[in-house]
Amino acid sequence: MINPLRSEAEAFRFLIASIAYFGAIVTAAVAGGTWAGLGVFVGLTAGVLAWWLHARREERPPQTAPRPHAEGERRILVVANETVAGHTLRSVILEKSRGVRGEVLVVTPALNSPLKHWVSDEDQARAAAQERLDASLAKLAEAGVQARGEVGDGDPLQAMEDALRTFGADQIIISTHPEGRSHWLERGVVEKARERFAVPITHVVVDLEAERDDVRD
C-alpha cells in the first residue's frame, strides 16, 4: 500500500486527487440529485480503495553498509532457520574465515504467523527459535566453528538488518532449504537481501533430507 502523505510531493498529489474526487461527487449530486452523487461516491470510493490496496511503491530501499572494524578480522553473519546442520554450510563458514580472525554470528529468525506477529504474541516463536539456535551453535562447535548466536526478528531481512547494525558483518551467509521447500526462496529473501545490503552475500542451499548440498555465490 502507498502512504499518500509520505512526502510533501505525495501530499500535494493527494490534495489534487481529493479535489478531483470531491469535485466529481459534488458535480454528480448537483446535476443528478442525491442518488447520483451517492452512486459516484460509492463507485469512486471502491475504485480508489481497490487501487490503493494493490498499489506498490517502485523504489529500491537504501542499502545498509557494514560498520568498519579492524583489519585482518572477518565478521560473518549466518542467517539460518534450521539448516545450520548441513555440512556444506559449516565448510563455507570455515572457508570464508580461513587466514583471518573470523567472528561468526548466527541469527535465527523467530518465525511467527502473521496474526501472532501483529498482536505481538511472539513468546513461543522466540522460544522455538532459541532452541533451534542452541542446536545450531552446538553443531557448529562440534565442527570447530566458534560462533555466538541471537534470535532475530521474524522477518529474515529485518533480522539481517538488525544484526548488521550491531555486529557490522562484512559477509552474510543465508542458508535455506532447496527450491520448492523453502519459504524464504519463494519470497525472494536472497534477492531482496542483495538489493538491500551492501555486503557480499553467499546463498547456501542445504538439503537436510538428502544431505546433498549446493553453494551459490
Residue ranges that bind another protein, judged by CB under 8 A: 3, 5-9, 11-12, 14-15, 18-19, 22, 25-26, 29-30, 37, 61-62, 67-70, 73, 103, 158, 161-162, 165-166, 168
* Structural contact between residues 89 and 173, judged by C-beta atoms closer than 8 angstroms: yes
Instruction: Provide the minimum distance between the beta carbon of 7 and another protein in the complex, in angstroms, as a whole number.
Output: 7
Q: Which is nearer to another protein, 84 or 159 (CB)?
A: 159
CB of 162 to another protein, least distance (A): 7
Nearer to another protein (CB atom), residue 73 or residue 211: 73
| Distance between CA atoms of residues 142 and 54, nearest Å | 49
Residue 27 or 113: which CB sits closer to another protein? Answer: 27
Closest approach, Cβ 113 to another protein, in A, equals: 20
Q: 171-176 and 73-80 as β-strands: parallel, antiparallel, unpaired?
A: parallel
Q: How far is the CB of 151 from another protein (least distance, A)?
A: 17
What is the SS3 assignment for the chain?
CCCCCCCHHHHHHHHHHHHHHHHHHHHHHHHHCHHHHHHHHHHHHHHHHHHHHHCCCCCCCCCECCCCCCCCEEEEEEEECCCCCCHHHHHHHHHHCCCCEEEEEEEEECCCCHHHHHCCCCHHHHHHHHHHHHHHHHHHHHCCCCEEEEEECCCHHHHHHHHHHHHCCCEEEEEECCCCCCHHHHCCHHHHHHHHECCCEEEEECCCCCCCCEEEC
Q: Which is nearer to another protein, 37 or 86 (CB)?
A: 37
Is 62 or 144 the residue whose CB approaches another protein more closely? 62
* Least separation in angstroms between CB 213 and another protein: 29
- Cα separation of 93 and 145, whole Å? 8
Instruction: Kindly state the smallest distance separating residue 43's Cβ from another protein, in Å.
Output: 16
Between 30 and 127, name the residue whose CB sits nearer to another protein.
30
